Structure 1
């Protein structure tokens, strides 16, 4: 059974600034990383090799339409995710994940023997069957892959670990694409090379799987339901129990819709739009893979080693912007008289805009996906985390199948590949707006992240004292209208803010704050019943293990000094005892967000210096010691002289 990480060690590791690449030298991560890396690479050696052969050497495969083969291969690969994800999720919750990993990699060797025969015989039916079996392989490994990480990584390592896995997956896709495309391009011996490469990679992957450490089953007493239809429905119902997690699953599935549309279009995009040969397809896929790998690695730096869902809207905006530009850039391409090689392709200036759009689109895709995966892992119950991941795979596969059907339908209707890209970009705007309207927490975190990272250079003092689990009351001085946003931006978890009831009268802000479960409060002389309801709501939130933040002054400061603390914290603690965490903001007084007489906008960047802001967090105190006078003294000491 894996040992639980020592929190003190976790905090010390964070403070020492060890990078995420440190994990690649540790046994709890490295064998698993290389096992999944080799699996992803083999998938793509096989699929790209097969797709390239039937697209550019269709005469060798009877009964295959080269224009639709790529979409058909993608759809066949996805079908097992629909049929078997529910079962694989149960297996990952019931059995040791290391044992399942070794079983899956042994199965991959057998599958590649079948695939090798298909390549050597130029048998499309046999290769389609192998594509299905590779889908089965990935279906079983999927829940193991993502449920493994939170079991072996500390909370502060989760984003970095997911970033490495995401980066590794797309680097593996890149290498697999290069190997598969290069081998398929050899007319005489390409099929033989593909057969040998796929089997060799499977054998190496089985070797690395032998070193994956034991991962105790979270629910060994689970009884397997072998009916895929009823279990699929049960898994989806399980995922829907947490609204934010379920909508995050939908968000990830939508990204797979977008990604599948682009990746499966590259062969026809290169041939029909760019007038390029298969080697250029490798360049396109390499650009896309490097982009998403770069975005995935950036997540840890931009999120400060926590689950920062504010990056998700930023990612979706970037995806649409650069997909739309890719549509316009594609229309400026003039057809060539022959299929261009890599050198000829890169010699055309307009083609660099195509590559830049693909790189940036993929980079923002990495910023979009990594926080969502980490969010699902961190907010799912450990006992059924693998089944939540299985539900994710079910939804992913459904969206990818819809993507393939849409692509086939639009292609049959005469829509070209650039038109397919534009359609996907516009749909992305609609879907993103819908999801963010249902979960405004994403938008609030996005606004908070933009505010803090655009206008302020924020300094955190002992931010690790904000508890990552369990109930607590956060108390802070009230300097500006954006205090809650700043605190939200630096918290590792969602916070239930206690806010003035008048804010909820605004159509927009009222809708926004209601959806993030802010608690309206009013002074007793205005609405005594609402005041009582607010304290009761705070008590229920603490009983449920949530964080509650209150500004005990009850109003914004008009002088920059801290107003006397009121009895609100004591009233909350009467209903539910919880640790109290004092905090202090300094640097916001005088900004346009405060009530200073001479307010000024913060400087975005001026001579390399941004406006300075500090959030200092004190040691949690016992609820019995949380008197207004004591709390005010603690907050005042944390704030110091600077306002």
Structure 2
């Protein structure tokens, strides 16, 4: 059955929450930009006063993330999340009512207080925003759900900015006041339909000290290297995005040629708009490209794409605008403009490829009872990276005297360096990228029964027929959860490829006559992995098929189950015999272009068999029946 991530917008477990968070981000940006427009255009302040307020505004919004994220993460863990969401939305209504008073009275100081309160609003909502998704969605829906959330957030920021500025064009406070209160009310109404999300750590004792509670939260982020580096990757994206967008006002004027106030505003909206639209498109494409799995192989693709088009943005316009005083149409028609817009769009697209799988990985790899606190730690780091980006921008311009294109070139190159560093720390990212590229190039994979039969969580043993050297890659691409594969030790030690198998945490095994100690160690590792609630896959034939037929299953599967009787999921690979790297061809033949380029392959899973009753012979019969006549 075909799946589409947009179908989530029609189910109650996702749609009301999606609308609630969408309106929250939208209202944030309507209020912030209406406030800045009021302060800078309509209050008659001098330049120094305007500068003071505009510099204070982002600092006040980000400050609560430093001080209250840890408490927010603990609250989201201990209490039912829907109740907190509704309380946050009521808080938003009250704060927006105060904002309306500030608009009418032109109280700049009061509006800055409201900005701080909206930062607090976002701080409390942040851990829930991402930790509620694994409770509401199935693992194969995580990438699609995160894609919708990220694309919706990107568009909310853009549209909120446009509406906020537009509502203050006349200087009348009425339109903006009505809008922010109405959006808050609609958001609260949507929150009433969000299904219950039970607490994940109801016995957690909350540390209310904002200083001492932050370090334990950050330590939770560091427990798993892959999770922590995903968090660092997310924070780096915020650094890059902040550094890019913060320089747009100057870039638009100096390098794009928009000098008048209206022209600058229009060009800035265009530049920010294509970047936001690109991010939304990239976020939505993640599910399609990942086959509904948490495909972290997209992360290197996103990182390298950001760097490539960031560098090209420098070469597209490395100097001053050739013509000043351009309006929107004048810029669009000017030479080189489409290349600049395309670069900004594709930076956003690859940013979506980078960001969405990282969030999905954090959600899928973090224990449910810790996820809200890990997201809170992520928010603390995000805030730190945002501030660092702002400081870096100031240093680059004031002290290093870089032009904006030079600054963009620097952060693009820095992005590549950071990406390589992260991927060297966690080779799994690069390994998954290479596997993803290979599978996409050489196979067309159809999946059946996996969603219904491979458990969303908890231990399970997967048993599958063994046809080619690529079987593990195909299964990894078809199954949302990480899998520990049991692998013949000589393949595990293949020169040049061993690091890939180690990064995938494969378990090497040898025959009893070859290395009895290694065989015993393999069974110990399998049992330990199952005890940790992981998926383990074995190929019970013990070798690749030499004729396309399924060989008898060996007794290793029974030895595993005798020690730990976990559910066993029979899986059949179909079509692999005709593809590259099976033993259908000679070794030389396997190196040639396969006879069926982009081979059609199917992965089919049947219902789990209780470990207490499963036997090698019975499992072999089930896999044979699943595969049928299609070798």
| Fold similarity call, TM over 0.5 | yes
Is it true that 1:24 corresponds to 2:9 in the alignment? Answer: yes
Superposition deviation, residue 569 in structure 1: 1.9
- Give the stretch that moved more between structures: 562-571 or 548-557: 562-571
**Mind listing any 5+ residue stretches in structure 1 that lack a counterpart?**
1-14
CA distance in 1 between counterparts of 2:493 and 2:199 reads 49
Is it true that 1:341 corresponds to 2:327 in the alignment? Answer: yes
Q: Which residue of 1 aligns with 2:250?
A: 268
Deviations 1:442-478 (A, max 9, x none): 2333223222222211122322323322222222222
Q: Which residue of 1 aligns with 2:459?
A: 471
Sort the Cα spacing of 1:98 and 1:584 in 2 relative to 1 into closer, same or farther, 3 A: closer
Q: Which residue of 1 aligns with 2:509?
A: 521
Sort the Cα spacing of 1:205 and 1:102 in 2 relative to 1 into closer, same or farther, 3 A: same
CA distance in 2 between counterparts of 1:58 and 1:348 reads 36
**Alignment partner of 1:248 out of 230, 252, 264:** 230
Q: Which residue of 2 aligns with 1:599?
A: 590
**Mind listing any 5+ residue stretches in structure 2 that lack a counterpart?**
259-263
Superposition deviation, residue 577 in structure 1: 2.3
Is it true that 1:611 corresponds to 2:596 in the alignment? Answer: no
Q: Is the 8 A contact 2:162 2:269 kept in 1?
A: yes
Deviations 1:340-399 (A, max 9, x none): 221212122411111111111111222222222223223333333222221111111111
CA distance in 1 between counterparts of 2:54 and 2:581 reads 54
- Residue aligned with 2:608, SS: coil
CA distance in 1 between counterparts of 2:60 and 2:286 reads 32
- TM (norm. structure 1) is 0.88
Sort the Cα spacing of 1:32 and 1:491 in 2 relative to 1 into closer, same or farther, 3 A: closer
Q: Which residue of 1 aligns with 2:19?
A: 34
Q: Which residue of 2 aligns with 1:6?
A: none
Is it true that 1:181 corresponds to 2:170 in the alignment? Answer: no
Superposition deviation, residue 196 in structure 1: 5.0
Sort the Cα spacing of 1:99 and 1:468 in 2 relative to 1 into closer, same or farther, 3 A: closer
Q: Is the 8 A contact 1:159 1:374 kept in 2?
A: yes
**1:134-283 matched pairs, under 5 angstroms:** 134-183=118-167, 186=169, 189=171, 193-276=175-258, 277-283=264-270
Is it true that 1:313 corresponds to 2:300 in the alignment? Answer: yes
Superposition deviation, residue 174 in structure 1: 1.7
CA distance in 2 between counterparts of 1:122 and 1:271 reads 29
CA RMSD between the two structures: 3.0
Q: Is the 8 A contact 2:489 2:510 kept in 1?
A: yes
- Residue aligned with 1:60, SS: coil
- Give the stretch that moved more between structures: 455-464 or 480-489: 455-464
- TM (norm. structure 2) is 0.89
Sort the Cα spacing of 1:30 and 1:361 in 2 relative to 1 into closer, same or farther, 3 A: same
Q: Is the 8 A contact 2:573 2:603 kept in 1?
A: yes
Deviations 1:70-101 (A, max 9, x none): 77643442221111100111222233333322
Q: Which residue of 2 aligns with 1:532?
A: 520
Is it true that 1:79 corresponds to 2:70 in the alignment? Answer: no
Q: Is the 8 A contact 1:75 1:404 kept in 2?
A: no
- Residue aligned with 2:308, SS: helix
Sort the Cα spacing of 1:572 and 1:26 in 2 relative to 1 into closer, same or farther, 3 A: closer
- Residue aligned with 2:444, SS: strand
Q: Is the 8 A contact 1:182 1:279 kept in 2?
A: no
- Residue aligned with 2:305, SS: helix
CA distance in 1 between counterparts of 2:484 and 2:48 reads 61
Is it true that 1:640 corresponds to 2:631 in the alignment? Answer: no
- Residue aligned with 2:581, SS: coil
- Residue aligned with 1:554, SS: coil
**Alignment partner of 1:351 out of 337, 353, 357:** 337
